[in-house]
Amino acid sequence: MLHMISHGLASARPPLLIAHGLFGSGRNWGVIAKRLSDSQQVVAVDMRNHGSSLWSPDHSYEALADDLAEVITSLGGRANVLGHSMGGKAAMMLALRHPDLVARLTVADIAPVAYSHSQQRNIDAMRALDLTTLDGRAAAQAALLPALKDPALAAFFTQSLDVKARAWRLNLDALEANMPKILGFPDVAGAAFDRPALFLSGATSDYVTPAYRPQIKALFRAAQFAKIPKAGHWLHAERPRAFEAALRAWLDAA
């Protein structure tokens, strides 16, 4: 089963399960998860091929969804689910494959569509890093910066670096091999999720455009839409308090 980080205590209220995005981990959501755990149990997982979870050559969204289903079953059989980016696609697939396990769905800045952007430069940058010569995350960030040109991205990637073991907590081979699947979305003709679903996006992000709404509504018939002002794709990191407030209001409306 996926590696889990649990905050708060189980109660009559459904737990909140958080699925992170590509190259991330459950630890990335620590602050938000702890704050939200004042009113419900919150469980952040490491998705397969990330963090401390299993490594596998299969990184399809069907497999990721079934991983989440196994976690929810272990937590009692029903949960509110939040997923960002890749985790959002996994959460959508979970809701379509196992609708009875999902009470309320929150999809953060992603749509059930194929995207054309490439992650190859990021994989190449991480692979090119000589981990044997680095003595800490600061050195790793500095070494990544010339290739990435983005200090925030370098800092984010090095959160998945095991400095002591001098290894990435990312199965870069499997992620690279499965990148077309990760950027895409499976054919789910005939499937639909009728329970509450919130598509929460960054106002300055182009990941969820009005053109995608018909596709979203076809699969998620009760879909609602909201935006976090002055936030891009990493809306939970850029505007954590605004993101938390929007999520609390949505979950408290149940």
Tracing tokens 């005939």 back to the chain, one arrives at 190
Active site residue 236: no
Annotated catalytic residue, options 3, 20, 50, 233: 233
d(CA 24, CA 146): 21
Annotated catalytic residue, options 38, 58, 173, 194: 173
Active site residue 25: no
Annotated catalytic residue, options 25, 53, 85, 160: 85
d(CA 65, CA 83): 11
Q: How many residues does the chain have?
A: 254
d(CA 52, CA 3): 6
Active site residue 173: yes
- The 3-state secondary structure of 142-209 reads HHHHHHHCCHHHHHHHHCCEECCCCEECECHHHHHHCHHHHHCCCCCCCCCECCCEEEEEECCCCCCC
Catalytically active residues are 85, 173, 233
